[in-house]
Structure formats: structure tokens, C-alpha cells
Amino acid sequence: MPFNIIRNDITKIKADAIVNTANPEPVIGGGTDTAVYNAAGADELLAERKKIGDIAVGDAAATPAFSLPAKYVIHTVGPYWQGGEHGERELLRSCYRKSLELADKLNCKSIAFPLISTGVYRFPKGEALHIALSVIQEFLLTHDMEVTIAVFDKSSFELSGKLFAGIDEYIDEHYVEESVSSEYYTNDMRRIREIERERMRVKRQEKASLDDILKCRGETFSEMLMRLIRERDITNPEVYKKANIDRKLFSAIQCKKDYKPKKSTALALAVALELDMPTTRELLAKAGYALSPSDKSDLIVSYFIENKRYSVMELNEALFEHDMSTL
């Protein structure tokens, strides 16, 4: 997928470019800066960094990556949090934007970020992540690049409650472990039963052929997806970029009428198309899936759809925070 959030050490990620939260002056700072220098080879990396000189807050510059599993280290200087009244948010946006632009100029196909300024610079982690996602999403609408945000551990990742207010309550209200709620059997399941009854009727006809049975199957996932795109008068690139899926994957779905996507892909496309819940369930059923009230990941997706919050980036942020696999 073009964008992903993972829990990992930034120095362990394989990417064309690794972003380092740098000191403004050409010296080794603390936190992520120290880890990047140690993993790359401190003497070599520092020698290259000195050639650049000072870097302004919000700006970015690149050096070779040496022993890191990358081609380049992009050094960016994040803002120190001073209560938000000194342009910190725009400076942080600039860090992400200029790092992405520099990676693109260097012909990088992939880039990995830490959460910039959230260590010793004390930028609120939740707000910092929201800013990062906003800039990355805007960039990916016009560029093809794999972008990863690496969060070192769970304890260092604390999101503000405002964005996800209501999700836990929704899960508590709808989550079931043993039984399946009546909502599980919605229009898509009734349609499946109708198809099954029709299949049995055809089977009882002595002269019925396999072709007769297959004619009863209706639209495939691919056919319904492309119809929904046409009905909404939007372009294919708009859909797969909003869904955070690869162009090649979307092309395979488009070209192969019987293509069966992963459930996560089908859900991401439903969110990107801003489908309501009944249409989402119908689209999922075309690929053989359903939303289960015993699956917390499904409940989080359902919460976003029912509340008309159609950002896959924001949804993935919520899934990540609840220790679920992202779409």
C-alpha cells in the first residue's frame, strides 16, 4: 500500500530514504538523531552532515545513508513545541512536505518517517500524527511513493481522545463474542439466500446446465465497483489514491471481472467511494465477505462509515491505535 503506519525502529526499515529528526547545527543530537547516526556509521554520516552546514527549522537536506538499509538520509529540523503559538504546526508541516519533495527529487520510490518533533521537542504526539497524515495524504494524491511512519513503541504513541471519541463506546455497544446479531444478516445475506434458492430450483430442473446456474450469480465485485465509480462520476486514480491501494492492484481488479480482493482492500474501496452501510455490505458480499459484530476491526470500520467519516488515513490511524491491522 502507498501509506502505512508501523511499530518499528526507523533505523531498521528498508526504504530509499530514511528521515532523521536532525539538530539545526551539524552535530549529533539526542533520541532519533543518535540512533540514525549510530546505525549509519557516526563518523561518515557526520562528515557529510557538516558539508551541509546549518539547516533551518522546517527545512530538509539529504546525505548518503551509509550502513543504513537505505540510499539516503533526509535530515529535517522539527520545531520545538512552545504551546502552539509560534508557528509550530506550519513548521512541522514544512518538515514533512519538504522531506517528501526532496525524496521525489532524488527519485526515491519509498520513504520512512519517525514522528518528527515528538521526542525531546515535545510536540503533542496525536497532533503531530494528524499533521503528518494530512501532508502525506495531500502528497500521495499527485505522487506515487511508498510512505511509512514508524512509531517506536506503544508507550510513545498517545493519541488525543477527540479524534476517536465514541469508537470505544461503539465497540462496547455492538461487540458480541458468541452470538451473531440480526444486523449481520442484512440485505447482502438475504440476497445470498435468494441466489441459493434460485440455484436449487435450477438444479431440480433435469435439463438445467451449469451455464444456467452461473447466470444466476449477478454482478461480480469488479463489475459492481466499476459501476459505482461511474455512478459517482469520479476517476479511477481518485478512487485508488483515496483508498490507499496500489495502482497495479486496482488495475488487476478493474481488468479481471472475477477478481476477488482481500477484505481489507474491499473495505478501503468502500470508504474511498463514501458508500453507506447497506451498499458497503452489498459490495463486500460480492467478494464473499461480511461485516461481523464479533470482529473489532469490522466494528471500527462500521463506526467510520455510519458516522460518514470517509478518510482511509484517519481510519487506519484508529485501527493502529486499537492494535488492529490497517487497511
Q: Spell 181-209 as b/e; 16+ CB within 10 A means b.
A: eeebebebeeeeeeeeeebeebeeeeeee
* List 16, 33, 188, 298, catalytic entry: 33
150 phi and psi, to 5 degrees?
-105, 120
Contact (Cβ atoms closer than 8 angstroms) between residue 103 and residue 70: no
Longest dimension (CA), the chain: 84
Q: Fill in the amino acid letter for 279.
A: T
213 phi and psi, to 5 degrees?
-65, -45
Torsion of CA 59, 64, 65, 69, to 10 degrees: 120
Q: Which helix (H) or strand (E) holds 149?
A: strand 146-151
Sheet containing 3-7: which strands, arranged edge to edge? 3-7, 146-151, 110-113, 17-21, 72-76, 60-64
Cβ neighbors of 315 (< 8 A, separation 6 or more) are 271, 300, 301, 304, 309, 327
What is the rounded CA–CA span in Å between residue 323 and residue 161?
Answer: 16
3-state class percentages of the chain: helix first, strand second, coil last, to nearest 5: 50, 10, 40
Known catalytic membership, residue 172: no
Of 96, 111, 35, the residue nearest 60 (C-alpha): 96
Catalytic residues: 33
